[in-house]
Structure 1
Amino acid sequence: MEKVRVGVIGLGMGYSHAQSLAQGKIKGACLAAICDLQPAKQEMARAELPPEVTIWSDAEAMMSSGEVDAVVIATPHYGHPQEAMTAFKHGLHVLIEKPAGVYTKQVREMNEAAAKSGKVFSIMYNQRCNPLYQKLREMIQSGELGEVRRINYIVTSWYRSQSYYDSGGWRATWAGEGGGVLVNQSPHQLDLWQWVTGMMPVRVRAFCSFGKYRNIEVEDDVTAYAEYENGATAVFITTTGEAPGTNRLEVTGTRGKIVIEDEKLSFWRLRVSEPEFNRDFKGKFGQPESWKCEVPITGSNAQHEGILQNFSDAINSNAPLIAPGEEGIKGLTLSNAMHLSTWLDDWVELPLDEELYLEKLQERIQHSTYEKTVRDTGPEVDMSNSFI
């Protein structure tokens, strides 16, 4: 079997993917080419990667060269959809870094192009490889937790200093990144929120604070409330300005409660479901008997290499994708809805009004400090994709 020849576009976050491929860690695939605009990163690649890897500064030229069968797109957020659509046009398989894009309208266009191409399309949602979240999803999808009633997700462990934001003029700007903690740090959690439950809310009310803790344009503190068709509710809290932080996901259902925290999954299992207990109990005070179970987790977290390997397997042997690229729109819908709810100071119904979101985003881009810098002096040289 010939190996899939992969080209990596963007040597910020993409450099680790290039190294995994170059070091032979991904079966059935090899690194054939890299592309980056910055001469310094090209020189780094020339010095550290195998000599047979070709080096490009023009992504479309690389895509049309015939040297690659697939691309990994690890460029700044705004570019993901357009670069993916260009790759599909050239008959290439595509793996994009998260987030899928900045606004859902452009991501929907990318998804349509992917469907027409017939090529493998995946997204780097590496947290789906974590056996903790795989087990939680299994327990919810199998009905072991019963019907989901409440979700509480606190992710305040994304501490970032002012010096982090000052390291690039594009960082934490509407024109450069298209958002803050929701677009930069929390896309994995927004994806996990909907992936483990298999549910998207029907409406969202969010309170985003822009530049609350740092001198930035975009959101650095978010509290959101969501409602579901079955009556369930959810609260999502995230920030980059809090220390020490918390990473806790709690899902309550009619048969108990599951908590993931500190790399453990705990299940408070009800002996009888809450609706059944409520129907039969005749006393004044009481509640269903519950047993706390520390659920054993088996398997390792393959992280980024797990998604890369799955991408290769899908191309070579039609393996089902862990993270289909089309699903990137779901987490992005949640972050777009939170922004829009804050901007409108009102509830936002889903499906999202994509045209309204884009209109409001464009207003902020026009007044962005990075947009002004680009207009006055041209884009920065350093647009690294070290977005984590």
Structure 2
Amino acid sequence: MKSFFQSLLLFLPQILSYFLVLLWCSSITIITFHHKTCCAFGVSSNNNLPNNESVPAVIVFGDSIVDPGNNNYIATLIKCDFLPYGRDFAAGNSPTGRFSNGLVPSDIIAAKFGVKKLLPPYLDPNLKLEDLITGVSFASGGAGYDPLTAQLVSVIPLSDQLEMFKEYIEKIKRGVGDERSGRIVSKSIYIVCVGSDDIANTYAQYPIRQAHYDIPSYTDLMADQASTFLQELYGLGARRIGVFGLTVIGCVPSQRTLDGGIERACSDSANQGALLFNSKLSSQMDLLNKKFPDARLVYLDCYTPFLDMLQNPTKYGFEVTKKGCCGTGNIEVTLLCNPYSIDTCSDASNYIFWDSYHPTEKAYKILSSLVLDNKIKDFF
């Protein structure tokens, strides 16, 4: 506790400056537990894939929503490898670097495809070959489609995540040979979840982007970057690719606090930006499906179902929608959500949000099912 507190004091000026002008993250994610702890998680797997298909691995790119701990291993303030993060992970009180109280969507999706219950971070130095061949996450909390987004907070940009994937391919080639590694690469499920930081942080809070772009042209930039990334991923052998659109980023607690006025209403500008980007992303993916007929690029809409969760919380078993569980729930995230945060709720299952930006494990499970269950067949 003492070392944590000293670190917090050391970085406090940067933290306060950072959070007064932004709150970062994306639409909607390590561990040393590996397979022996899978029984601790109540996540059901999907063993009935279409046409008796099998999925050798799940491989993920993106930001904090799907970062299971890569940021633990880099020099950045965007970290959460301390309590109360991970409070409900496994047997409890196990902060792993996941931006939630428990599991994150990368874990949940891997289970849905029947691969494994926990998707580890690629940068975990303890990973073994058997961990690699069933999939990893390259995601880094704070990344975006706009290269500037990751640069501003010193995290791993999508371009570097792609370089790590190339390194991953070479590792599994050395481990299992060209033929099997080729099957793993071509038959795996790829998930991309990123982009909210671009609008909520880089565009909204930094004049450098507003000086050169309006929202239509900035979302064009994002969509172009997304298309380039997906084509590069295809070029490396990926064929089954699911891409999450942006969620209702204007209604997360931090955006309500920063841009919602005294009543903490949703930020209409952020939501409109998300919808505009989503339409462009979906169109780009339609074009890529025509360009690459042997690929299955699946657009995953999380805006509509998450909006329904926020507007009809009791339908999904929630009570609190406008603040997170951690601290006051209005502004705390990453280092501001820490062991010293007062008023942290005792039962996160009543809350849609864990901190001021990231959902709880319960919300992630519900949202993942709403988004993905009816789309699984489209990957095959």
Q: Does TM-score exceed 0.5, indicating one fold? A: no
Higher share in strand: 1
Identify the structure with the greater helix proportion. Answer: 2
Q: Tell me the TM-score range normalised by the shorter chain.
A: under 0.3
TM-score (norm 2): 0.25
Q: What TM-score does the superposition give when structure 1 sets the normalisation length? A: 0.24
